Structure 1
């Protein structure tokens, strides 16, 4: 069946119309059902009153809090006003002080300017006066130079006259140095004499060792030894002075004395730190006998025992071990190398009271020249000798004042210094002096007959401060080092 186009259009229009009607009906039904379901709620009066009461309470609490904040703000405002008033007062005071300071500075600047002007005028006047004086001095320069030359010549003549008028030793004129007439014999022989010395600021040291008269007549060699040196291991600068005197009949005593001096310096260096802590403290002018168990006494005894072992090696080396072998007692070897040993440790530097520590075994001693008189401040055990008598060590502390002289001496030299006639002669020549090495050697080697053996001495002049050494009597300059004759 065929449908015409017009009929088809009409059919579609009816279809759409029916769909629209169905939609409208459905919307009305949905809206009607929603109105029927939703009830109308009316709150009860009691709930409304409670809600109003709660809201009012909340507002009252908030109002109370706001009032407290307002009161706190007012209080803070008052504090800030008081602080502002204080700050304003401080600022006013500071301004007033600043004004006063500036006024004072201005016044001071004006005063300084006036003073500077016055000083400048005074300086100009002084400069003019000095220029005038310099011109006048230049005119007189030739006369002053000639006068200085004349004074120097007069001083040289006076020194020559003083040297010529120096007292002679008792028994005749000084023919020093005495000259030996025979050379020493023996394989262990050494130089007839030796000298050493140094100028160590305020401490002047001279040393000499001379063969004795009897040894020269008999053709025997010198058996003494001396040593000067610094113990570098001790923190405080310290001078070591050593005199070692070999036994007169010891076959190898000269070598033993030389070995003892060098070994003592090495042994003290081993204990330098501990010695530095113990040296310059404690009681002075006290001699410590053998057996002293103090720290310093123990260190010195240990060092001297090391020296004794080193001395024994001399006999062993010279005899090939026959006299001092490991299995023997070593008594014969000890007799061949017996030596008396005395050491002196002295603090260097400027000191009004200079500390010294003397120690030793044997008859060497330390003398002190003070106010023109000799006095013995230390001596070891007279009959003791190294190496066998190392436990017999003695030691002592003492001090020197500016102007004192110390002498570390062998026994024969100490006897000469303590003799009434010769002691005064040495005191007059050595007091407050700084002699040349050769002059000191001549004094030790003075031709005065004595029954003793070798003469050995180390002398220390204490001037307290270095500046005083340039104003002392005697020679004004001295060579250092060592020499042999």
Structure 2
């Protein structure tokens, strides 16, 4: 369209005539209403991926001219170059990001997508006059680069600027610089095949193994019924402020290890004494004399007379005095044990025991008491510390027991005492014996010599009390231990139930069947295994042979 005689058309005039509503459009219209938006969409479709990005910007922020920085009002600037996006075939517009894009507000990242099929390009007027010129062929769209664009560096926000808008979780587009989320963790079941030990991949944790079953509780008594008394102490013995040194503990526990043996010793009050508040009548002494291979270990167990006052004191005196006697002679005793001189040991220990009982009788006289009241049974063990010596010596006087556990069975090693009827001796002269030198009561004629002075004799005194029994005989035994043996020295309170209740021996044999000896606490629990009908004090000394 030409208007001769007018001044040359400027850019502003071309803009006004191009968009003047009064000027008819000479190009074919693709739609009844041809607006600038329709033309912009047509040009965007022609440009392909680059146009799609601008269309996205337009769809996200409103009018297309807002996206490229053109105001609705004409300010006289040179915006023609921005509008002619495809006139010279330059491809997508290259521009710097706006401030809201750099700050991460509604980020837009170009994602590779298949280009839509090009629509028939509309006819674009090159000048206000002349024939229509077909648009140039669209430039080939380069393939998207496999390298992701570098993330934009956000600009620091000024104090007057509003904070950036929060990211919409419903927006399918990722954030700038975001990385793909890690793949979900896969747990391998415990029944799967064993992993390859050469693999460096992390292995799934093993399923926790079930806890081991709790050990069965050990019995606290044997027999058909539980004992009558309580298992724990209920009363303390009475004492005086001036006699505190005479108190004895309810339980004594000791142990040691020398050479090839392990020693365990325990002494405790019986159930009846704990119930009545009586002191423990059993006394226990463990002592070592000397050092090295020549050292000698003494274990003494004494029990005071039953139902007598101060029975625990006489037992303690017996242990203390036999300990002193052995300690003063320990060098000679140790040599005799290692040399195996059984005869010398028996005679020497017999003398030491007699001296101990002589002191007990002297102490009873000092206290104004009968010797039978202030006495005690005494049983001792002598053990050499030499690893090459396995001779174990027992000696003593009075009741108790000496047992040996070998191959799972108990053996009673208590020395046998002769029966009173088996004891015979020569008749004593002057007490009814007829010796060759005895005077004759008859004359050579056979007459009996009688003398009757007619003096009336009063009747002799009548002896109603029984004759006191002879003192307890001395017991001695020396035996050679074998590996695996367990020697047990017991007072009356444990020896009687071992002989009277087979279940007690079976239970102890089962507990001590292991090669390792029990600890002090376990040993105390073993020897306090109760039996109904036996409530006396218990003292036990056990020696385990390695």
- TM class, shorter-chain normalised? 0.5 to 0.7
Q: 1:426: Cα distance to partner?
A: 1.0
Change (3 A) 1:376 1:171: closer
Q: 1:408 aligns with which of 476, 484, 489?
A: 489
Change (3 A) 1:212 1:181: same
Question: Any idea what the Cα deviations from partners look like across 1:387-408, whole Å, max 9, x if unmatched?
Answer: x977822211112111111111
Change (3 A) 1:301 1:227: same
TM-score for both structures, normalised by structure 1: 0.52
Question: Any idea what the Cα deviations from partners look like across 1:254-292, whole Å, max 9, x if unmatched?
Answer: 1111121122121012222332332244588xxxxxxxx
Contact kept, 8 Å, 2:250 with 2:280, in 1: the verdict is yes
Change (3 A) 1:214 1:376: same
Q: How does 1:122-137 map to 2 (within 5 A)?
A: none
Distance 2:492 2:530 in 1: 18
Contact kept, 8 Å, 1:235 with 1:272, in 2: the verdict is no
Hey, what does 1:445 align to over in structure 2? 528
Q: How does 1:93-108 map to 2 (within 5 A)?
A: none
Change (3 A) 1:269 1:391: farther
Question: Any idea what the Cα deviations from partners look like across 1:95-128, whole Å, max 9, x if unmatched?
Answer: xxxxxxxxxxxxxxxxxxxxxxxxxxxxxxxxxx
1:225 is aligned to 2:290: no
Hey, what does 2:344 align to over in structure 1? 295
Q: 1:298: Cα distance to partner?
A: 2.1
1:398 is aligned to 2:472: no
Distance 1:365 1:379 in 2: 9
Question: Any idea what the Cα deviations from partners look like across 1:428-458, whole Å, max 9, x if unmatched?
Answer: 1123342222222222223432335211111
1:457 is aligned to 2:540: yes
Change (3 A) 1:391 1:416: closer
Hey, what does 2:406 align to over in structure 1? 370
- The 10-residue stretch of structure 1 (237-246 or 224-233) with the greater mean CA deviation from structure 2: 224-233
Contact kept, 8 Å, 2:398 with 2:472, in 1: the verdict is no
Contact kept, 8 Å, 1:194 with 1:209, in 2: the verdict is yes
Contact kept, 8 Å, 1:189 with 1:222, in 2: the verdict is no
Distance 1:297 1:200 in 2: 24
Change (3 A) 1:365 1:192: same
Contact kept, 8 Å, 1:186 with 1:221, in 2: the verdict is no
Contact kept, 8 Å, 1:417 with 1:426, in 2: the verdict is no
Question: Any idea what the Cα deviations from partners look like across 1:348-386, whole Å, max 9, x if unmatched?
Answer: 3435x71111000001221111111111113486999xx
Hey, what does 1:470 align to over in structure 2? none
Q: How does 1:39-78 map to 2 (within 5 A)?
A: none
Q: 1:427 aligns with which of 475, 486, 509?
A: 509
1:251 is aligned to 2:304: no
**Residue 441 of structure 1 aligns to a residue in which SS?**
helix
Runs of at least 5 residues in structure 2 that lack an aligned partner in the other structure: 1-196, 241-245, 421-468
Distance 2:377 2:298 in 1: 16
Q: 1:231: Cα distance to partner?
A: 2.7
Contact kept, 8 Å, 1:361 with 1:389, in 2: the verdict is no
Distance 1:295 1:301 in 2: 10
- The 10-residue stretch of structure 1 (177-186 or 388-397) with the greater mean CA deviation from structure 2: 388-397
**Residue 531 of structure 2 aligns to a residue in which SS?**
coil
Q: 1:229: Cα distance to partner?
A: 1.6
Hey, what does 1:125 align to over in structure 2? none
Runs of at least 5 residues in structure 1 that lack an aligned partner in the other structure: 1-136, 285-293, 324-331, 464-485
Contact kept, 8 Å, 1:243 with 1:364, in 2: the verdict is no
Q: 2:356 aligns with which of 307, 315, 323?
A: 307
Contact kept, 8 Å, 1:400 with 1:462, in 2: the verdict is yes
Q: Work out which of the two has the higher radius of gyration on C-alpha atoms and give 1 or 2.
A: 2
**Residue 222 of structure 2 aligns to a residue in which SS?**
coil
Contact kept, 8 Å, 1:243 with 1:456, in 2: the verdict is yes
Hey, what does 1:4 align to over in structure 2? none
- Which protein has the bigger helix share? 1
Distance 2:338 2:386 in 1: 13
Hey, what does 1:170 align to over in structure 2? 222
Aligned residue pair count: 292
TM-score for both structures, normalised by structure 2: 0.47
